[in-house]
Amino acid sequence: MSSFLDRAHTIAPPGYNRFMVPPAALAVHLSIGQAYAFSTFNLPLTKLIGITKSAPDDWTLNQVIWIFSIAIAFLGASAAVFGRWVETAGPRKAMFTAALCFSGGFLISAVGIHLHQLWLLYLGYGALGGCGLGIGYISPVSTLIKWFPDRPGMATGMAIMGFGGGALIAAPLSVYLMSFFATATSVGVLETFITMGVLYFIFMMIGVYAVRVPAPGWKPEGWVAPVEPKKLVTTANVHVDVAWTTPQFWLLWAVLCMNVTAGIGVLGQASPMIQEMFGSRVTAATAGGFVGLLSIFNMAGRFFWASTSDYLGRRNTYMVFFLLGIALYALVPTTGQIGSITLFVAAFAIILSMYGGGFATIPAYLRDVFGTMHVGAIHGRLLTAWSVAGVLGPILVTYIRQYQIDSGVPKAQAYSVTMYIMCALLLVGFLCNLAMRAVSERYHHREPVPVRA
Amino acid sequence: MTARLFVLWVAVGIPLLWGVEKTLENALKLFQ
């Protein structure tokens, strides 16, 4: 088994079609993208004993929401810690490990539900599942970049699009499975967790089976590396341990953090926001539709913007994110004042497409700046920006809204200040992106790059 | 190789399209 998983046994034979790799990556990302739909389990998990309503011994919502938060924290941490291992072990072993962790997380959580021990859910889905998310997220990135040196943005965009799309599958699937397994004595979550653990393991095995790394020195037929690369694009490599001592790493860290903070806060508050800004014109059901629409734009933006960045350049693409983002966030309070739901929805659809686009474009940006040698590991460390943004974004949106309401501002206008703060965050991101320069030669890796596919 | 490529894309494409369809169905309520 170990030899099947080894990097040496995943080298593509001659004639291998490189377009086999994106669906392999998608199989993993579509699975782990389930994390974005975990909230569908929150309420049922608070009714495990009471079934129709929470009993006194049931877990509270405040206890349950920590499962997702722990998973996201472990995503960032494991991507940072295991990034180098993923590079050396190869994508197949990394994907297999991710599948074991992610599915194992579901199964341990199912045991936790059976025994009604919440710590087992924190440990299972939160810690172990979170490691599966982190390792799975970065596992195909460097492989895709090596297979598609001519279109790195498009290739990584395709995979990371899966992480956005995973929620679109998991949300209706979870609801369907819970209703299928629900009985008079069970809300059906335990059985749903077991089923999803098994299903996702099988689905991720598609990726494990199909993924291949290119043979050393492989290039797409007829493709020649540009003789005069663009200003920020390097042909050299920077070691992962050196990369994070460069100003460029921290500038890109801030770029990602600001872009994600602005988007993630809105994503979490989208439903109450549209209802409060437009009052009785928007019901809970239509607000749910709005959230679904944002998820689609979040997913589509990942592919669209990352592919566009192959033509526009990475820095220019982020310039668009920040400048257009500032304009749109500044417009949002006006859409509320004039009562235009269409404009409001359009603004947030574009904002969320750029939120997803930011995630999908960053691996190619890292490859441009630090080379391909350790791009996966560097990407893993950069994802700590996501963990920070995951805390910062929702706190900013919810606390500022509450402060505004406590200060006597009507609910419909309680988000205006938040929107202007988002503009300020995007301005910081814009300035960091503007400051990006090529990495100094003194940081370049001097020793020969290990011959690894 | 081509058949395997087709099967692979179908295997990931069908669940994704199903998810998009279900989400769009829900999202359309916004415009009703």
Q: How confident is the model at residue A7 (pLDDT cuts 50, 70, 90)?
A: confident
pLDDT digits (tens, 9 = 90+) for A214-225: 998 888 988 887
The whole-number pLDDT of residue A81 equals 94
The whole-number pLDDT of residue A228 equals 67
The Cα–Cα gap between A311 and A306 comes to 10
The alpha carbon of residue B10 is apart from the nearest alpha carbon of chain A, in Å, by 9
Residue B5 scores a pLDDT above 70: yes
Residue A268 scores a pLDDT above 80: no
> If you average pLDDT over residues A199-217, what whole number do you get?
95
A23:B8 CB<8 A = yes
Q: Which of A87, A369, A364, A368 is nearest to A213 (CA)?
A: A87
Interface test with A, best of B18, B22, B23, B31 (most A CBs within 10 A): B23
A296:B2 CB<8 A = no
Q: What percent of chain A has a predicted confidence (pLDDT) above 90?
A: 64
Q: How confident is the model at residue A348 (pLDDT cuts 50, 70, 90)?
A: very high
A172:B19 CB<8 A = yes
The whole-number pLDDT of residue A242 equals 93
Residue A288 scores a pLDDT above 60: yes
Q: Which of A203, A2, A1 is nearest to A103 (CA)?
A: A203
B23:A23 CB<8 A = no
Q: How confident is the model at residue A1 (pLDDT cuts 50, 70, 90)?
A: low
A296:B24 CB<8 A = yes
Q: What percent of chain A has a predicted confidence (pLDDT) above 70?
A: 98
The whole-number pLDDT of residue A452 equals 55
Residue type, A452: R
The burial class, CB within 10 Å (0-12 / 13-18 / 19+), for A388 is middle
Residue A31 scores a pLDDT above 60: yes
pLDDT digits (tens, 9 = 90+) for A94-134: 999 999 999 999 999 999 999 999 999 999 999 999 999 99
Q: How confident is the model at residue A428 (pLDDT cuts 50, 70, 90)?
A: very high
Smallest CA–CA distance from B26 into chain A, residue: A289
Residue A426 scores a pLDDT above 90: yes
Q: How confident is the model at residue A392 (pLDDT cuts 50, 70, 90)?
A: confident
- Chain B residues with beta carbon closer than 8 angstroms to that of A345: 30
Specify whether the CB–CB gap between A443 and A240 falls below 8 A.
no
The whole-number pLDDT of residue A210 equals 94
The whole-number pLDDT of residue A47 equals 93
Residue A450 scores a pLDDT above 70: no
- Write down the mean pLDDT value for chain A: 91
Smallest CA–CA distance from A161 into chain B, residue: B16
Size of interface A-B (CB pairs under 8 A): 80
Q: How confident is the model at residue A329 (pLDDT cuts 50, 70, 90)?
A: very high
Q: Does B3 touch chain A (CB under 8 A)?
A: no
A292:B23 CB<8 A = yes
Q: For chain A, what are the domain ranges?
A: 2-210, 240-443
The whole-number pLDDT of residue A226 equals 76
The whole-number pLDDT of residue A90 equals 93
Residue A315 scores a pLDDT above 90: yes
In this prediction the pTM is 0.90
Task: Give the list of residues 6+ apart from residue A147 with CB closer than 8 angstroms, or none.
Answer: A18, A21, A155, A214
Indicate the residue of A170, A203, A345 with minimum beta-carbon distance to B30. Answer: A345
CATH of domain A240-443: 1.20.1250.20
A289:B27 CB<8 A = yes
Indicate the residue of A15, A203, A290 with minimum beta-carbon distance to B30. Answer: A290
The alpha carbon of residue A369 is apart from the nearest alpha carbon of chain B, in Å, by 31
Which helix (H) or strand (E) segment holds residue A384: the answer is: helix A384-406
Asked which of A81-90, A228-237, A248-257, A394-403 is least confident by mean pLDDT, the reply is A228-237
Specify whether the CB–CB gap between A288 and B29 falls below 8 A.
yes
- Tally Cβ neighbours within 10 Å of residue A159: 30
Residue A244 scores a pLDDT above 70: yes
Specify whether the CB–CB gap between A94 and A377 falls below 8 A.
no
SS (H, E, C) A14-35: CCCCHHHHHHHHHHHHHHHHHH
- Chain A residues with beta carbon closer than 8 angstroms to that of B12: 23, 26-27, 30, 162, 206
Q: Does B20 touch chain A (CB under 8 A)?
A: yes
> If you average pLDDT over residues A17-35, what whole number do you get?
95
pLDDT digits (tens, 9 = 90+) for A407-418: 988 888 888 888
The whole-number pLDDT of residue A304 equals 97
Q: Does B22 touch chain A (CB under 8 A)?
A: yes
pLDDT digits (tens, 9 = 90+) for A131-145: 999 999 999 998 999
Could you tell me which residues of chain A have a Cβ less than 8 Å from any Cβ in chain B?
A: 15-17, 19-20, 23-24, 26-27, 30, 162, 165, 167-173, 203, 206, 210, 285-286, 288-290, 292-293, 295-296, 299, 341, 345
Smallest CA–CA distance from A29 into chain B, residue: B12
Residue whose token pair is 């936790």: A112
Specify whether the CB–CB gap between A178 and A42 falls below 8 A.
no
Q: How confident is the model at residue A349 (pLDDT cuts 50, 70, 90)?
A: very high
- Secondary-structure class of domain A2-210 per CATH: mainly alpha
The whole-number pLDDT of residue A122 equals 96
Q: Which of A306, A275, A300, A303 is nearest to A290 (CA)?
A: A275
